[in-house]
A and B are shown apart, each in its own frame.
Chain A
Amino acid sequence: MEYVHSVWSYLASICNCWQCTEDPGAQPNEPNERTHLLVDPVNHSPALRRSNSDGLSTDYAHSLPKKDDQNALSRLVQNTAINMINVGAMDCHSLEHQEYADRIRLYSQRLHQQWNNGQHASIAPKGLLKDVPSHQFYLSKPTYPDDTAQMKLFTEKAHISVSHIQIDHKEAVVVPFRIP
């Protein structure tokens, strides 16, 4: 029984070694989510590099992955520089005059392009009142002679008819109270 258990543990260790050999093979082919962008940052620090005697061999061993990391990093930095206007880095004192002028021209072109792409509002109507028609249209309106004649006839007849209004009393205005 003890002999069988030792054989089983030996087989398990062989399988573990096989899995270990599988991982390093996958890394150089294509980077995945577990790929480190910086190779051994501790070993690359200046303090340890001076004291470490075999640093040169370490650089030779990691030459290929280092290139891939540098390419990815440079591509990322380039994309960021192209797409973003870094306002924090715009220090007038530290920038040279030529670079400052170049940046002004570049940013003006970008803003102008964005402004042209946007939808502009239509030209707003002038003046405060928008629903009042032109006054010239109504100033040219004539006075109709028929209106004047009709109104004159109306007022004349109205005077006569109003003067003929008479009040017909139908009931007594004063009614005696019934005092028992």
Chain B
Amino acid sequence: MEQQLEKVLAEIAARQDTVGALLANRQGLCLGTKGDIDPNVSGIGMAISEQVAKLELNATAPATICLYSGNKRCVIQKDGEITGVIFKQPTGTSATAPSN
């Protein structure tokens, strides 16, 4: 049933600096995970993205939330009925430099 979804998760998590990827539905239930990420994070990610969306009610593009903790970061985005959560941690060899 969800073979195509698992393929997308595997593709996103295949990058070297990506620790894990997670997909949640509109109720915050976990649709699928890949990599080192806890499925229970789905509800938290969905709630965070909903609260951030209230900061600008007239925003047309979905907000991309980036949480930093040490050298790790968590990217959350809610688009329509789907919320995506990606855990990233720069590796020693291929850490991408920030470009403004």
Q: Enumerate chain A interface residues (CB-CB to B < 8 A).
A: 138, 141-148, 150-155, 157-162, 164-168
Contact = CB atoms under 8 A, between A and B. Distances in A.
Given A144-B98, A146-B96, A161-B2, A154 B64 contact: no
Given A147-B86, A154-B21, A164-B4, 8 more contacts: A142-B99, A150-B15, A151-B77, A154-B12, A157-B11, A160-B8, A165-B2, A166-B1
Size bin of chain B's contact surface: 20 to 34
B98 A154 contact: no
Instruction: Find the residue from A144, A160, A164, A168 having the highest chain B CB count within 10 A.
Output: A144
Contacts of A148: 64
A108 B8 CA distance: 79
A150 B96 CA distance: 13
A166 B3 CA distance: 10
Contact of A168 (B1, B82, B98): B1
Given A143-B64, A143-B66, A144-B98, A151 B86 contact: yes
Contacts of A157: 8, 11-12
Contact of A144 (B23, B82, B96): B96
Q: Which 7 A-B pairs have the closest CB atoms?
A: A161-B5, A161-B4, A155-B79, A157-B8, A142-B98, A151-B77, A154-B84
A161 B8 contact: yes
Interface string B10-50: 01100100100101000000010000000000000000000
A158 B96 contact: no
Interface string B57-78: 0000010101010000101010
